[in-house]
Amino acid sequence: MSSESNAGNARPGRTVTIDPVTRLEGHAKITLHLDNEGRVADARFHITEFRGFEKFCEGRPLWEMPGITARICGICPVSHLLASAKAGDRILAVAIPRSAEKLRRLMNLGQILQSHALSFFHLSAPDLLLGMDSDPASRNVFGLMNAEPELARSGIRLRQFGQEIIEALGGNKIHPSWAVPGGVREPLNSEAGERLKARLPEALETVNGALDLFRKIASRFEEEANALGDFPSLFMGLVAEDGSWEHYDGKIRFVDADGTVVGDGLDPGDYRSFIGEATENWSYLKFPYYKPRGYPDGIYRVGPLARLNICERMGTPRADEAWAEFRKNGGGRPVSSSFHYHHARLVEMLAAVERIGILLDDPELVSEPFRAEAGINRLTGVGVSEAPRGTLFHDYTVDRHGILQKVNLIIATGQNNLAMNRTVLQAAQHYIRGSTIPEGLLNRIEAGVRAFDPCLSCSTHAFGQMPMRVALFGPEGERLDERTRD
Amino acid sequence: MAVNTFTLNGELVSASPGATVLEAARENGVEIPTLCELEGLSNIGACRLCLVEIAGSPRLQPACVTATTEGMEVRTDSERLRQYRRMILELLFAERNHVCPVCVANGHCELQSRAIDNGMEFVRFPYQHPDLPVDITHARFGIDHNRCILCTRCVRVCDEIEGAHTWDVAGRGTGSRVITDLNQPWGDATTCTTCGKCVEACPTGAIFRKGSSAGEMEHQRDRIRFIADARSKREWTP
């Protein structure tokens, strides 16, 4: 949400600051630079947090890393837990028990479900259902509860279901220290499995209801779909061996804006050979890019939109249908508008619910062993997982006893950094013209960022809450206006 | 057998001669918080958490090394004692890097439990954040000096029960460290028998089984008393 003082105050040659940006995970601000004619010349999405996990993990034993790095995020601790445990698997040089892999997959699906439910129902539904121009004071989940109580309730319960899967496996809804190098600590007990199965029909109904709702309202947002980050880019993510949607393992695939596979079967462990990281002096977030295309042309997007654009099918019947319908948005090519991240999230929720059902019926889920024991057999290891927001890499170097020497974390939100900046610029150029900036238009710029569901605390590895600032700078760099929201 | 009769928190109680205040209190169902004390090992009065008030003595006395005497009046709980105990705990937390949520002993840690029991809600002293190493050169165990409170249980159990005396203390004051052999990496300590008694005795997550993840390190501290008892009763000797 942007502050009142900025609305209606877009003198030429100024900078508008939206600070803080609301309804996303972390601290950020947006600055819009206007030229002498009052048109948006440049726009930047600044991440203003700093954390330092990569540094203070040095010196810790490998086996503690999943528990420590899970603390990076309260929304997607499971992604860090899994990427970290997988980096550990590589360093132990073990193939983990099949049951352990299935249990890890189950937990990741629970997390994708709860995180996507949070993004859609709690954070973005207020824009989509109450309207981009509705009163900022009630344009939030509480306003949604008043206006659409049943929808809000079912969305909250869907998130709860995802959280319960995590809790049933890991003992805690948030920050379970459950996946370990070599496998997992505990299996799912049968009582919890039955309890979760009983909740599946309701979860399926909620996701289907949300998809129906999105179909109905999508036509209202055609302008947003064109203005909020609709640009050609590469898409990156994991795909399964058979080309279907993948969230835990598999190989990396890059697809370009035309749908051509430009990189395939890439080993996530070799990410350095195909991903470069650039830095800019105005953000704590790094700017990863696809190396063969260089910086900044190698811009790529990750997350739900990318995963659905790179795969050939979802792999479960209902989700396959929903995927085919989603891909129609692209007209035979990848879906390019970042606004469709919302739609992609709904398709992934459907896939998650279906796959959770399949896993809960799998007898192998409870067959011992669950953990492979081994010592330090390699000094480096890269772990990868598909976090709700995109591909996550944990890259560790240890000494021969297993003490961390070097840690590099490549976070999904970081990989969308270039795309989010381009989205902000595109939205600002589309909406800010002339001398007035209505609040609703600033909210649309925020919504452009919100579509990515960025987790800034994760990506910069920071502490704090999640507000945003927008500043308006003149051509000489002077600050003309600024809005802050706590 | 003659007994000592004395007053414990206003109640007349009796204790066998030579019993410490701590032993007598436990016999009479009165809990006194402890940290460095472990049943089966000698007592050294290092942590000062078990301080009690004794009528006629201007100083507080550590219950674990104070013998009961006929007619003494002991108070184990007062606002003054609670304040001191909280302060001791705060100082322990401030001195090294105790990060409970990601500690291997989270939920199974005596330091954490004492802090909770004694209402330590915050630490008023500046954290020292010392830069301390983790030694996991041993094949099975590790020592994280960040979590060590210098209770010396490991030193005592290794010397008194195992008889190896691998552990000792080097340095002075806040620079003190528990060491293995002559300050060699644990993996190079030739006197270590890998018996694991120090692992079971450790009150925190400082000494742990390798491969433990957060909250996974459970200690079997009563094993030390079991061994000590069996030995003193000559249960294993024909």
Whole-number Å distance between alpha carbons of A16 and A479: 8
In the sheet where B51-54 sits, what is the strand order?
B11-15, B4-8, B73-75, B51-54, B61-62
Average pLDDT for A203-226: 91
B contacts of A68 (beta carbons < 8 Å) = 102, 214
A472 three-state secondary structure: strand
Give me the pLDDT at residue A3, please: 36
Residue A177 to residue B214, Cβ atoms within 8 A: yes
Average pLDDT for A98-105: 97
A contacts of B216 (beta carbons < 8 Å) = 177, 185
CB A6 within 8 A of CB A485: no
Band of residue A47 on the pLDDT scale cut at 50, 70, 90: low
C-alpha distances (whole Å) from A163 to each of A29, A116, A176, A196 are: 30, 12, 11, 11
Whole-number Å distance between alpha carbons of B66 and B69: 9
**CA dihedral of residues A417, A422, A428, A429 (deg, nearest 10):** 170
CB atoms within 10 A of CB A452: 28
* CA-based nearest distance B175→chain A, Å: 19
CB atoms within 10 A of CB A378: 12
A contacts of B127 (beta carbons < 8 Å) = none
Average pLDDT for B201-205: 97
B contacts of A371 (beta carbons < 8 Å) = none
Which is it for the CA torsion A383, B104, A69, A79, positive or negative? Answer: positive
A 45-84 → B contacts, CB under 8 A? 59-61, 63-64, 66-68, 71
Give me the pLDDT at residue A287, please: 80
Beta strands in A164-311 (DSSP E): 179-180, 183-184, 234-239, 251-255, 261-266, 275-278, 287-290, 300-301
Give me the pLDDT at residue A26, please: 65
B88 three-state secondary structure: helix
Degrees to nearest 5, angle at CA A92 with A86 and A95 = 65
Whole-number Å distance between alpha carbons of A134 and B176: 63
Which residues have C-beta within 8 Å of that of residue A468, sequence separation ≥ 6? Answer: A1, A18, A19, A20, A21, A22, A24, A27, A28, A29, A30, A446, A485
CB atoms within 10 A of CB B122: 7
Q: Report the top-level CATH class of B94-221.
A: alpha beta
Per the DSSP assignment, residues forming a β-bridge with A45 are A30
Beta strands in A169-255 (DSSP E): 179-180, 183-184, 234-239, 251-255
Average pLDDT for A117-126: 89
Residue B213 to residue A177, Cβ atoms within 8 A: yes
Band of residue A465 on the pLDDT scale cut at 50, 70, 90: very low
Q: In the numeric block, which tokens belong to residue A102?
A: 């299935």
- Phi-psi region for residue A64, left (φ > 0), alpha (ψ -120 to 50) or beta? alpha
Residue B136 to residue A401, Cβ atoms within 8 A: yes
Whole-number Å distance between alpha carbons of A140 and A447: 13
Task: Using the predicted structure, report yes or no on whether residue A7 has a pLDDT greater than 70.
Answer: no
**Domains in chain B: boundaries:** 4-77, 94-221
B140 three-state secondary structure: coil
A contacts of B218 (beta carbons < 8 Å) = none
Segment B134-151, tens digit of pLDDT: 999 999 999 999 999 999
**Within an 8 Å CB–CB cutoff, is residue B130 touching chain A?**
no
Average pLDDT for B68-73: 95
pTM: 0.88
* CA-based nearest distance A173→chain B, Å: 14
Q: Which residue has the tokens 């470069």?
A: A276
Lowest model confidence (mean pLDDT) among A146-155, A254-263, B23-32, B174-183? A146-155
Which residues have C-beta within 8 Å of that of residue B16, sequence separation ≥ 6? Answer: B1, B3, B4
**Within an 8 Å CB–CB cutoff, is residue A177 touching chain B?**
yes
Segment B74-94, tens digit of pLDDT: 999 999 999 999 999 999 999
Band of residue A468 on the pLDDT scale cut at 50, 70, 90: low
Task: Using the predicted structure, report yes or no on whether residue A46 has a pLDDT greater than 80.
Answer: no
Interface test with A, best of B99, B102, B218 (most A CBs within 10 A): B102
Whole-number Å distance between alpha carbons of B81 and B167: 32
Residue B134 to residue A402, Cβ atoms within 8 A: no
Give me the pLDDT at residue B214, please: 93
CB atoms within 10 A of CB A160: 15
Give me the pLDDT at residue A358, please: 97
Stated as kind and residue range, the H or E segment containing A225 is helix A222-227
CATH architecture of B4-77: Roll (3.10)
Give me the pLDDT at residue B7, please: 96
Which residues have C-beta within 8 Å of that of residue A56, sequence separation ≥ 6? Answer: none
Band of residue A434 on the pLDDT scale cut at 50, 70, 90: low
**Within an 8 Å CB–CB cutoff, is residue A331 touching chain B?**
no
Average pLDDT for B10-16: 94
Whole-number Å distance between alpha carbons of A412 and A452: 10
Give me the pLDDT at residue B235, please: 83
Band of residue A463 on the pLDDT scale cut at 50, 70, 90: very low
Task: Using the predicted structure, report yes or no on whether residue A486 has a pLDDT greater than 60.
Answer: no
A contacts of B212 (beta carbons < 8 Å) = 63-64
B 23-52 → A contacts, CB under 8 A? none
Beta strands in A172-231 (DSSP E): 179-180, 183-184
* CA-based nearest distance B147→chain A, Å: 12
Residue A63 to residue B211, Cβ atoms within 8 A: yes
Segment A176-194, tens digit of pLDDT: 889 999 999 999 999 999 9
Across chain B, which distance is largest between two alpha carbons, in Å?
56
Lowest model confidence (mean pLDDT) among A17-21, A343-347, A389-393, A417-421? A17-21
Whole-number Å distance between alpha carbons of A420 and A302: 11
Degrees to nearest 5, angle at CA B21 with B17 and B24 = 65
- Nearest residue of A to residue B138 by CA position? A401
B contacts of A63 (beta carbons < 8 Å) = 210-213
Task: Using the predicted structure, report yes or no on whether residue A454 has a pLDDT greater than 60.
Answer: yes
* DSSP 8-class letter at B101: G
Task: Using the predicted structure, report yes or no on whether residue A1 has a pLDDT greater than 50.
Answer: no
Tell me which of A344 and A439 has the higher pLDDT.
Answer: A344
Which residues have C-beta within 8 Å of that of residue B232, sequence separation ≥ 6? Answer: none
CB A289 within 8 A of CB A283: no
Taking Cα atoms as reference points, which of A416, A428, A388 lies closest to residue A117?
A388
Helix residue spans in B28-173 (DSSP H): 79-95, 110-117, 153-156
Whole-number Å distance between alpha carbons of A413 and A343: 18
Q: Which fold has domain A95-229+337-373?
A: Cytochrome-c3 Hydrogenase; chain B (1.10.645)
Task: Using the predicted structure, report yes or no on whether residue B167 has a pLDDT greater than 50.
Answer: yes
Whole-number Å distance between alpha carbons of B178 and B96: 14
**Domains in chain A: boundaries:** 4-49+415-485, 95-229+337-373, 231-336
Share of chain B above pLDDT 70, in %: 100
Average pLDDT for B226-238: 87
Band of residue A230 on the pLDDT scale cut at 50, 70, 90: confident
Give me the pLDDT at residue A24, please: 65
Average pLDDT over chain A reads 86
Q: Which residue has the tokens 């067959």?
A: A367
Which residues have C-beta within 8 Å of that of residue A358, sequence separation ≥ 6? Answer: A316
B contacts of A376 (beta carbons < 8 Å) = none
Band of residue A286 on the pLDDT scale cut at 50, 70, 90: confident
Tell me which of A97 and A458 has the higher pLDDT.
Answer: A97
B54 three-state secondary structure: strand
Task: Using the predicted structure, report yes or no on whether residue A134 has a pLDDT greater than 50.
Answer: yes
Segment A291-310, tens digit of pLDDT: 999 988 898 999 999 999 99
Band of residue A470 on the pLDDT scale cut at 50, 70, 90: low
Q: Which residue has the tokens 């370990």?
A: A180
Q: Is the bond preceding A369 in cis, omega lying within 30 degrees of 0? A: yes
A contacts of B133 (beta carbons < 8 Å) = 59
**Within an 8 Å CB–CB cutoff, is residue A358 touching chain B?**
no
Interface test with B, best of A63, A89, A92 (most B CBs within 10 A): A63
Q: In the numeric block, which tokens belong to residue A187?
A: 């299996």
Task: Using the predicted structure, report yes or no on whether residue A461 has a pLDDT greater than 70.
Answer: no
Interface test with B, best of A177, A373, A463 (most B CBs within 10 A): A177
Tell me which of A480 and B50 has the higher pLDDT.
Answer: B50
Task: Using the predicted structure, report yes or no on whether residue A366 has a pLDDT greater than 90.
Answer: no
Whole-number Å distance between alpha carbons of A297 and B233: 79
Band of residue A429 on the pLDDT scale cut at 50, 70, 90: confident
Taking Cα atoms as reference points, which of A426, A430, A437 lies closest to residue A12?
A437
Give me the pLDDT at residue A466, please: 38
Tell me which of A397 and A26 has the higher pLDDT.
Answer: A397
CB A3 within 8 A of CB A484: yes
